[in-house]
Amino acid sequence: MPLTRLSEEEEIFRSTVRDFAEERVRPRVAEMERDAAQPPDLLSELFELGLMGIEIPEELGGAGASFFMSILAIEEISRVDPALAVPVDIQNTLMANLFMRWGNEEQRNQYLPRLARDTLGSYALSEANSGSDAFALQTRAVRDGKVYRLSGRKHWISNAQEAGLFVVFANADPEAGHRGITAFILERDMPGFVVGRKEDKLGVRASSTCELVLDEVEVPEANVLGEVGQGYKVAIETLNEGRIGIGAQMLGLAEGALEGALAYSGERKAFGQRIGDFQAVQHLLAECATDVETTRLHVYNAARVRDAGLPCVREGAMAKLVASRVAESVASRCVDVYGGVGVTKECLAEKYLRDAKVAQIYEGTTFMQLNTIAKILQRDG
């Protein structure tokens, strides 16, 4: 069976998410872009539809579905607005996976129902001087009896403005280097924990990206996720799957841009005929469609490999690499189809182009994906 073919259950799920995106999200895209914010009622609807706990077991309040279903949801929402897909992506591919894989029974029972029901999560790894070199982080966790005191600053943290639950990475043993890095569970209302300035971004503007300030935040030892010193492994393995989510986000973006350009090429006339009748435009759209389908193969394959319980590091890196490049390229060519109107705010094409750029940066830059793929080739070659 071709990897892009969906089961009946997957087709129904995709259709449900697409209907939501078209009927509830599309009418509000301009509003979200203008305000650089996600309406609370739309976020609530994501929870009500079960899109924030897709893989979380049913007994813990989730849908008990597959990782692949999460990828479909991210793709379909991104067709309409990649910014609203960010919380769906982070909630499913990062936060839920963190607790299901690394949480103990008490942590899973306490936090997974909240993530599925009404609490947005945020993954806090990056700092001002530790982006691609993520494990040069300077946030410290000092043991004080049965608590840890966390101090430092996190930067470029997605979902931060709306989140109620955070997984923060800090070094509990700086002398051990990356082997001292530990993952901690923080609640938004913990004393000394402040969500700071929101970034004014080029794209995905409705998705919040903020600084986090930690000033001697007292975190119980019970809030260590995984084991002390295991944060490096926790972060790396989770990001491997998160990259497939970014691939799905960019796949959806490219689909949305292409669909809009196709429709416009059938409406706009020049020199007495539709611009879609000109071979140059036909070839441009054909190339875009081929690139989108290539991306779909990479993203779907990576998700299927992950659901099969097989290693997906290479597949995830390739999916993100290809999808991030294709999204920018397709979005740019679709602006060309629109011509002058394509660079105006009244046209979604320019928004798709701005939204695409961040995928080459967050959750591992393009260069880091190439490094990962090259290392695996050298190891297995």
Q: Which of 55-63's residues contact partners 24+ apart within 8 Å by CB, and which partners?
A: 55/92, 55/96, 55/97, 55/100, 56/96, 56/100, 56/112, 56/113, 56/115, 56/116, 57/112, 60/108, 60/109, 60/112, 60/113, 60/116, 61/112, 61/113, 61/116, 61/117, 62/96, 62/112, 62/116, 63/116
- What number of residues does the chain have? 381
Structure tokens at 107: 């942590």
Contact criterion met (CB below 8 Å) for 142 and 99: no
Label the pairing between strands 147-158 and 140-144.
antiparallel
Q: Is 225 helix (H, G, I), strand (E, B) or coil?
A: strand
Rounded Cα–Cα distance for residues 107 and 61 (Å)? 14
Cβ neighbours, 10 Å, residue 178: 16
**Pick from 81, 88, 70, 72: which is nearest to 22 by CA?**
81
Label the pairing between strands 147-158 and 209-220.
antiparallel
Structure tokens at 185: 């569970």
Rounded Cα–Cα distance for residues 55 and 92 (Å)? 7
Q: Which helix (H) or strand (E) is 73 found in, with range?
A: helix 67-80
363 is catalytic: yes
Cβ neighbours, 10 Å, residue 1: 6
Rounded Cα–Cα distance for residues 186 and 95 (Å)? 13
Active site residues: 363
